[in-house]
Structure formats: C-alpha cells, structure tokens
A and B are shown apart, each in its own frame.
Chain A
Amino acid sequence: MKVTGTIERRDLEGGIWQLVADDGKRYTLLGGAKEMKAGARVEVEGTLDEGFGIGMAGPQLRVASVRKL
C-alpha cells in the first residue's frame, strides 16, 4: 500500500518513527530509518503489519520505499 503524509519522530520507547497520514491515521514505521527526517512530506510504500511491537501506538507499516514529495 502507498500512504502519503508527514514523518514524525516520537520520543516513545527510545524513539520511534511514525507517519501521520493525510487522513489523520498514524502508522508506526518499521525500517527505512536512514531515509527518515522528522517533518518531511513523503509517500511511503510498504505493507501493513498488524503484528505486535514496542510502539503500541497504531498499526505498523513495513517500509519498502520512501519517496520525498
């Protein structure tokens, strides 16, 4: 799936990356940390991972690629 939104660095559990989608939904991003920049507008392509994790703050999105907008 592709999601467009803004990247946010949250100081939770030692730091997690989240994507605040344009529809207001929040995804915890798994992987791709090197391309992440807080506040950047991006389009993230990846797969939805409804599994478990440390974030506990919304569904997880397994990142395949990040495209800056």
Chain B
Amino acid sequence: MLREARGLWMSSGTLSSRPALKERLAIALLATAALLLLGLAGCARQLAPVMEMSDEAVPGLIEVELKGPASLPGKVLDQEEVEDDEFGDLFSRELQVELQVDPADEAATLAQLRARPDVIWAEPVTRLQALWLPDDPDFAKQWHLKAAGAEAAWDIARGEGVTVAVIDTGIYPVDDLDPSRIVKGYNFVGRNEDARDDHAHGTHVAGTIAQSTGNGKGVAGMAPQARLMPLKVLTAFGSGTSHDIAEAIRWAVDHGARVLNLSLGGGMRSLAMESAVHYARRKGAIVVCAAGNSGGRGVSFPAAYRDAFAVSAAGPKGFAAPYTSYGPQVRLAAPGGDKTLGEEAGVLQQTLAEGSTTEAAYRWFQGTSMAAPHVAGAAALIMSLGVSAPAAVEDLLTATARRAPESDGEKYGAGLLDAAAAVRRATVWWGLWRLLFALGGALVAVAHARRSGERIKTRGLFWAGIGVGAGALAMLAPLGAERLPFLALLALPPAAWPQRLLGAGSFAGYIGWSALVPFLIALPARAAAKPIDNGFGALAAGLSFGWAGALLHAALWRTVDLPWMPAFLMPLWLLIGAVVAWSAGRGLLAREPLR
C-alpha cells in the first residue's frame, strides 16, 4: 500500500519539484563544510573557552573578587592575591576567594555579596567540561602529558584495542595501573612468566604509556585505555643482552603488540636486534626507542636502526634536555624532563619506591627513556583510530609535530610531539578526504547511470549511507567521541571496525578493508526492481560509495596493514576493493534486477 501510494505521489507531477542533482551537490557540500567546521570548533575548544559545551555550576561554591581582605560569609576554601587593576600597583592588590556556602542560601548570598561596595564581582563556581580532564589529583603536576598534547587528544582517542609492549625491567602491578589492562608477558632474564619489575624503570615507563587515568588516584598516562605487555629483558641493575632483547621484540609482535617501547640502549650494533626490529615493523608494529643519554652526538642502538623510531628528550620549555643524545636518526623529540630546572621538571609517574621491590611511590625521573613512552602512547592513540600501518603512524607523528624552539633537526627530528594534532589529522582531515572521495564516486556513478538513460532519484538515505560508509562522522570526533564507548567507534570508518574490535593482527581486518560488507548488503538490495527507489536500496548504494571512498583513502594514504599481506600489494588490494565497492553501488542504480 505504502509503496503504491509513494508511486502515485511520484507520478503525480511532483517529480520536477524535487531538487536537481546540482542543488543536492550544493547541500552535500554545505553539510560537509558544516561537519568540518563543527569538528574544527571541537579542536579549538581549549583555546576558546566561550565555546564550552556545558558548564555547570558546582552547588555551594562561590568565587568572589574583593578590593581587599574583609570578612565573608561561609567557609574560605582558597584565596589568592591578584593584580587586576588597569594600573597595577603594589598597594591595592585584589583578593580572589573561593567560598563554600550552604547550597540552599547560595542565591541569597550571591545577591548579598554583589551588593557590597568592597566586592568587585561574585559568581557561582562552574565546572568547565570542554575537555575531559581526568580527576587524578596529581595530573596537574604532569606538565609533560600536557606538553605532549594528551589532554585534547583524549577527547578523540584513548588507545582502546592497542597493546603496547614495554621491553624493559618489567612492570610491577602498582595500584595506579589497571591490572585488567596488563596482558600476559614474559621474563627473558629469569626465563619464566613472572615479568614483574624489580628496578622501577619499566614501571615508570609503563605509567607514562597507560597509567590509570580518571580513577581519582595518583597520576595519568598518555593512552589510558591501551593494554600493557610487560617483557622483562633487563636485570635489577637495569642491563640486559642483545639476545634477550631481540627475542623479546619478536615475542611481542607474535603475541599481538603493535607498539613496542624500548627505553634502553647500548653502543654496539647487534644484527640479532636489528633483524628483530625489522621483523617487528614488517609485521605491523611501530618500534619506539630512546635516543640515548650521552648528551652528545651519536644515537644509541636500537634507536639508530633504520626501522626504529628514535626519540630525543626535551624539557618543560621545549628545549632539548642537556643529557639527550642526538643525531640524524632522531625522528621526534618528546618530554623527557630536565631536572636542571628543578625536581618537578622531571616526568612524574607511579613506580617502585627507591630501593624497594614491592612498595609503590610517585617519582620524578628524567631521561630519553621517559621521552620514548610519550611517543609510544601517542602511537597507541593513533592506532586505536584504525591506522594500522606503522609507516602511516610515524608519518602522522612527524607531520603534525610542533616546531622546536631551535632549528636543529639532529636534536629534535621533525619537532616536538603533539598527540592532539596527530589524532585530529587522523579524524577531522582524513574524514573529510574519505567523504570527498565517496561523494565524488557517487556523483560519477549517478551521472554515468543517467547518461545511459536511467532516471535516478537520490534520497536522504542515499546521502546518509555515503556519510556512514565513508566514516564522515570522524570529522566530529574532537567534540568528544570518547565520552561514550559506542561513540568512540564513530571516530573511525566502519571499514576499520573489525580490525579495531578484534586486533590489528586479526584476519578480521580483511572483512572491513575489502568490498565484502558493501557487496553483501548490496546483494539482497538488488532483488528489488529498482533498488535505488526504496530506502534499503538507497542506503546500500550510499554505503557502497562511502566504503569505496574509505578504501580509496586507505590505499592512497597507506594507512592499513593486514596480516600476511605484503606492503607493496596493500594499496593494490585496497584499490580493487574500492572499485568493487563502487561497482556494487553503481549496480544498485541500474534498473535491471539480478539475473
């Protein structure tokens, strides 16, 4: 009945009043621009607090600025002298006070305060929620996470589904590490499965990568949702052999780690280790290594190997730390601390207390070992967005690096790590490219069908399908994709979902990164006489074009790595997928049913 009625409506002369393709194209472009603007607005939020999404008053808290000390109602929680005069003078400093009052009397107290002549202003204390700010009490002291761009990155990605191997002195299960996110590891020193730390170094490094964040305790880490794989290759003295390290690298990749952190080094080249690093990268892992602490020119091994990603250390002001090694192999600089500026200019994480093998403590460390895990964490954030090719992760990290304060490529590589800029590029800008490719493909197909005499009427579901298939909603990720678990998946295209949910090393990656899904959806849609005229057919067609756009982007940007697929064949595979997906969509525009 409904279909007949619709057919009637279509044949009753309203056809000509439906907008032409050009107008729809204009609408599509406008919608794209709107998505992009919204996404960028999300990016700019930390700069423009006016655009906060929601700021809610905290009941019972009032902030007052006074002309000077005076008696106030309620309890004073905090106060500080400020200099707000146009002509700042020493004799009349203002006083800002945070007051706790009975929430029931808050409005009355506010009115009372505002009426007082010695009160410059009074307002309710609000909680700003532009960024997800973790409630870990000592997060404020972690200048290094902020410098690495972690705060703004956490709205977009938190490292779900990515395993980071910590090849070090082991990891001690301190209370600010989530035990459920520490996967099985191995102790290559003692040749057993007890990979607990007996030194403090490895646990500190693990904390920088994935300290429990937002748990109301201690400090935070770069990729709070990533999994940690403890691989103990260094003794309680902090030293180990090339043999054990090489073996651990291969073990890590074979057991699902896609980010390897090696905060260790030595002066001797080892072919065993070099070939292991090459193996890891070929199997889809990024191998992040500390450049060394010699304070001079000459990057230590394994950082100096071609397939490793060498990280130098910078202090709080962004200048290279005095102890950092440097050289042409350095790819990026990241916060490693510079204690010549004070103890708190180090990197703060929870680890073992000094001299203890059981007691935990929060300690300030410095070293290129502390810089590398900031990058490893950022790599985990990027990989959780469906970027599985290590070369693409490395390119994102270097292309989005912040400018170093000095132009010295040997000390800073491409510049200073900016995790927020990297995940932004992987969502906002890549989302835009995928959408443009998808729209382009769809328009070519529609024009092609029309030229061969078809009457194609596109509808909302068709365009929606394109957007979904291309993963265009990723452009909105900076608005807070990580606020709800299911939203997080929208930051990556559906083609990347199987890999994200089942692991980058899983063959499920072939389900997403091929034309299989659009093909299977297009098949039943073809049963209709003219698929594009019903909702399901239109959606299936749109989805196919969207998927084709995502596959084409992945082929050109080389973002994907699949198990057993040689790297040089990967773009070809994706291109074939894009053509098949596009053809599936094109097939749904045609009139003739499946024979």
Contact B354 A51 (CB under 8 A): no
Interface members, chain A 11-69 (any B CB < 8 Å): 11-16, 30-31, 49-60
Given A16-B238, A51-B239, A51-B240, A56-B264 contact (CB < 8 Å): yes
Contact B238 A56 (CB under 8 A): no
Does B177 sit within 8 A of A, measured CB to CB? no
Specify which of B199, B234, B263, B294 is in contact with A58 (CB 8 Å cutoff).
B294
Contact A52 B241 (CB under 8 A): yes
Specify which of B201, B268, B300 is in contact with A13 (CB 8 Å cutoff).
B201
Nearest CB in chain A: distance from B546 CB, A: 48
Given A13-B201, A31-B237, A54-B369 contact (CB < 8 Å): yes
Interface members, chain B 265-282 (any A CB < 8 Å): 265-268
A54 to B293 CA separation, bound complex (whole angstroms): 9
Contact A49 B369 (CB under 8 A): no
Q: Which residues of B contact A12 (CB under 8 A)?
A: 293, 323, 366-367
Q: Which residues of B contact A11 (CB under 8 A)?
A: 339, 366
Contact B242 A52 (CB under 8 A): yes
A21 to B366 CA separation, bound complex (whole angstroms): 24
Nearest CB in chain A: distance from B247 CB, A: 13
Contact A56 B325 (CB under 8 A): yes
Contact B239 A60 (CB under 8 A): yes
Does B477 sit within 8 A of A, measured CB to CB? no
Total cross-chain contacts (CB, 8 A):
94
Q: Which residues of A contact B354 (CB under 8 A)?
A: 14-15
Does B290 sit within 8 A of A, measured CB to CB? yes
A-B contact pairs, 29 of them (CB 8 A): A12-B323, A12-B367, A13-B201, A13-B370, A14-B200, A14-B351, A15-B354, A50-B268, A51-B239, A51-B266, A51-B268, A52-B239, A52-B245, A52-B264, A53-B237, A53-B266, A54-B201, A54-B238, A54-B264, A54-B367, A54-B369, A55-B238, A56-B293, A56-B325, A56-B367, A56-B368, A57-B293, A57-B294, A57-B323
Chain A residue nearest to B368 (CB atoms) is A56
Does B365 sit within 8 A of A, measured CB to CB? yes
Render B152-168 as a binary contact track against A, CB cut-off 8 A, 1 for contact.
00000000000000001
A59 to B234 CA separation, bound complex (whole angstroms): 15
Given A14-B204, A14-B363, A14-B365, A56-B237 contact (CB < 8 Å): no
Say what secondary structure dominates the interface of chain A: loop
Does B292 sit within 8 A of A, measured CB to CB? yes
A54 to B30 CA separation, bound complex (whole angstroms): 54
Q: Which residues of A contact B351 (CB under 8 A)?
A: 14
| Additional pairs, 6, CB under 8 Å, beyond known A51-B240, A53-B264, A53-B265 | A51-B242, A52-B241, A53-B237, A54-B199, A56-B368, A58-B267
Binding site for B on A (CB under 8 A): 11-16, 30-31, 49-60
A51 to B241 CA separation, bound complex (whole angstroms): 5
Contact A56 B234 (CB under 8 A): no
Binding site for A on B (CB under 8 A): 168-169, 199-201, 204, 234, 237-242, 245, 263-268, 290, 292-295, 300-301, 323, 325, 339, 351, 354, 363, 365-370
Chain B residue nearest to A57 (CB atoms) is B293
Contact B265 A56 (CB under 8 A): yes
Q: Which residues of B contact A56 (CB under 8 A)?
A: 264-266, 290, 292-294, 300, 325, 367-369
Nearest CB in chain A: distance from B249 CB, A: 12
Sort A-B residue pairs by CB-CB distance and give the 6 closest, nearest first.
A53-B239, A52-B266, A56-B292, A56-B265, A54-B238, A57-B293
Chain B residue nearest to A52 (CB atoms) is B266
Nearest CB in chain A: distance from B347 CB, A: 10
Q: Which residues of A contact B169 (CB under 8 A)?
A: 54
A14 to B300 CA separation, bound complex (whole angstroms): 19
Contact B365 A49 (CB under 8 A): no
Q: Which residues of A contact B368 (CB under 8 A)?
A: 56
A51 to B200 CA separation, bound complex (whole angstroms): 20
Given A50-B268, A53-B264, A56-B300, A14-B237 contact (CB < 8 Å): no
Q: Which residues of B contact A51 (CB under 8 A)?
A: 239-242, 266, 268
Given A11-B339, A50-B267, A57-B234 contact (CB < 8 Å): no
A54 to B201 CA separation, bound complex (whole angstroms): 8
A55 to B240 CA separation, bound complex (whole angstroms): 11
Given A11-B339, A13-B365, A52-B265 contact (CB < 8 Å): yes
Q: Which residues of B contact A59 (CB under 8 A)?
A: 267
Nearest CB in chain A: distance from B19 CB, A: 65
Q: Which residues of B contact A50 (CB under 8 A)?
A: 266-268
A16 to B201 CA separation, bound complex (whole angstroms): 11
Q: Which residues of B contact A54 (CB under 8 A)?
A: 168-169, 199, 201, 234, 238-239, 263-264, 367, 369
Nearest CB in chain A: distance from B359 CB, A: 14
Chain A residue nearest to B340 (CB atoms) is A11
A36 to B370 CA separation, bound complex (whole angstroms): 25
Q: Which residues of B contact A13 (CB under 8 A)?
A: 201, 238, 263, 293, 365-367, 369-370
